[in-house]
């Protein structure tokens, strides 16, 4: 058999993998295993902040206190010069010294809303194009910035004729979501019947603020539906989205209003689309639940999904019946318990029905409805996270989906 298919590049790559020295991160984690210590305990021992230690181990922090190298070298029991050398290797891999070409700068400016990304904490500067390019490549799983392509406007239920108000940030959000879904790679087949059978069990999980949503996400994963949470982005008023990835439903939750109850409303809303609009979504690749879309076809389908979510979680009739007791927290809590929902949903729905002008109703909702942050701790993927999507999802799959 001919060996022509192997070239010098292949051989160099193989040899590089064989003789590559362990990274600072690998040495650190091996030492933790050897000493049977937790990362938290080591932080106390080294008298270092988590961000500073991560910045050294992964090469994400350009400015470092030299005494940290001394402490880390002592902990790893190796020369400080070697620690600095490994840090520099990691730093150079994160921040190549090669300047960004004018073509790349132009491409980045034309395809990304840098001001919005900085406001979200994704980048530190709108002029440091080396950092900007690196962050985009890492987050979007690209080898070259020129691989990035904005998705089309052919969203499910939309004619595609109306240009979105914020196309750059919307495209980035969509691409970031798709990268996460592709990295997760749900192995289970989607079963509509399994979803129908599981549906009655979803609502009562809202009563468990810290664990309920994650438990539902884990169960949905096993019937072929992947759910993730992405934080909101400036100018992007989306409540959620449903994608078709490998012929399986993939749901993104976000929450630009900040209420716990709206997370559950968004989830049920998107599951309605999975149940009743799946063929359209598969044809168009994705559907966005967009408060800015004025098209009648979109509004009609969105109203149907909204009505379904409201009826399932806590109907208008039930809200009306509890209205006279809305200031009696004990009564509302008991009513919520009997209806298998968190009382926050009652207060938020009551405020919604009362209208934006009723400050007392929204004051009650704010007082008794938990913030979304209480439920997303284990599923959040912050925009400021410096790790690659691959690194984030590797741990997330183990903790949440498997």
Q: pLDDT tens digit string along 15-34?
A: 444 446 788 888 988 988 88
> Can you tell me the distance from the alpha carbon of 41 to that of 294, in angstroms, rounded to the nearest whole number?
54
Residue 380 reports pLDDT greater than 60 = yes
Half-sphere exposure of 375 (CA within 13 A, CB side): 31
Class of domain 8-94: mainly alpha
> Can you tell me the distance from the alpha carbon of 400 to that of 219, in angstroms, rounded to the nearest whole number?
10
Helix axes 329-338, 343-354, angle to 10 degrees: 110
Residue 401 pLDDT: 82
Residue 159 pLDDT: 32
Residue 196 reports pLDDT greater than 90 = yes
| Burial bucket for residue 13 (CB in 10 Å: 0-12, 13-18, 19+) | exposed
Whole-number average pLDDT of the chain? 86
pTM of the model: 0.72
**Residue with the two structure tokens 């729905």:** 349
> Can you tell me the distance from the alpha carbon of 288 to that of 222, in angstroms, rounded to the nearest whole number?
23
Q: What is the mean pLDDT of residues 85-113?
A: 85
Q: What is the mean pLDDT of residues 34-59?
A: 87
Backbone phi and psi for residue 227, each to the nearest 5 degrees, phi listed first: -120, 130
Which residues are CB-neighbours of 282 under 8 A, at least 6 positions away? Answer: 244, 247
| Burial bucket for residue 336 (CB in 10 Å: 0-12, 13-18, 19+) | buried
Backbone phi and psi for residue 252, each to the nearest 5 degrees, phi listed first: -110, 125
> What is the DSSP-derived secondary structure letter of residue 62?
S
Percent of the chain with pLDDT over 90: 52
**Angle made by CA atoms 322, 202, 347, in degrees to the nearest 5:** 25
Domain boundaries, given as residue ranges, for the chain: 8-94, 102-148, 164-313+371-401
How does residue 97 score in pLDDT terms, banded at 50, 70 and 90?
A: low
Q: What is the mean pLDDT of residues 85-104?
A: 80
- Beta-carbon count within 10 A of 325 CB: 13
Are the beta carbons of 243 and 252 closer than 8 angstroms?
Answer: yes
> Which tops the pLDDT comparison, 259 or 293?
259
Residue 20 pLDDT: 61
| DSSP-assigned beta bridge partners for residue 245 | 248
Measured CA distances, 371 to 359, 376, 377 (Å): 18, 10, 11
């Amino acid at each position: 058999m001919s060996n022509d298919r192997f070239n010098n590049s292949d051989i160099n790559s193989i040899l590089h993998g064989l003789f590559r020295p362990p990274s600072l991160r690998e040495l650190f984690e091996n030492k933790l295993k050897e000493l049977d210590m937790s990362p938290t305990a080591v932080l106390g021992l080294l008298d270092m902040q988590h961000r500073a230690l991560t910045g050294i181990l992964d090469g994400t922090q350009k400015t470092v206190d030299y005494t940290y190298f001394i402490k880390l070298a002592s902990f790893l029991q190796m020369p400080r010069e070697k620690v600095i050398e490994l840090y520099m290797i990691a730093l150079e891999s994160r921040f190549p010294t090669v300047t960004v070409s004018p073509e790349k700068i132009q491409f980045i400016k034309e395809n990304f809303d840098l001001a919005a990304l900085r406001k979200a904490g994704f980048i530190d500067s709108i002029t440091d194009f080396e950092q900007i390019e690196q962050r985009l490549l890492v987050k979007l799983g690209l080898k070259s910035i020129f691989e990035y392509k904005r998705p089309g406007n052919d969203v499910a239920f939309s004619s595609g004729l109306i240009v979105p108000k914020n196309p750059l940030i919307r495209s980035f959000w969509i691409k970031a979501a798709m990268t996460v879904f592709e990295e997760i790679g749900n192995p289970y087949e989607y079963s509509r019947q399994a979803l129908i059978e599981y549906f009655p069990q979803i609502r009562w999980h809202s009563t468990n603020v810290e664990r309920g949503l994650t438990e539902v996400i884990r169960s949905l994963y096993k019937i072929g539906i992947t759910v993730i949470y992405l934080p909101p982005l400036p100018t992007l008023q989306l409540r959620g989205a449903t994608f078709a990835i490998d012929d399986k439903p993939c749901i993104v939750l976000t929450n630009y209003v900040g209420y716990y109850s709206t997370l559950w409303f968004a989830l049920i809303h998107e599951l309605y689309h999975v149940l009743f609009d799946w063929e359209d979504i598969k044809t168009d690749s994705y559907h966005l639940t967009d408060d800015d879309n004025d098209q009648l076809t979109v509004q009609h389908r969105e109203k149907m999904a909204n009505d379904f979510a409201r009826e399932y979680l806590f109907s208008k009739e039930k809200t009306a019946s509890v209205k006279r007791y809305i200031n009696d927290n004990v009564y509302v809590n008991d009513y919520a318990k009997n209806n298998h929902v968190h009382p926050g949903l009652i207060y938020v729905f009551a405020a919604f029905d009362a209208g934006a002008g009723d400050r007392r109703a929204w004051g009650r909702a704010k007082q008794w409805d938990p913030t979304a942050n209480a439920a997303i701790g284990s599923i959040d993927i912050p925009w400021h996270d410096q790790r690659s999507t691959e690194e984030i999802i590797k741990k997330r799959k183990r903790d949440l989906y498997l």
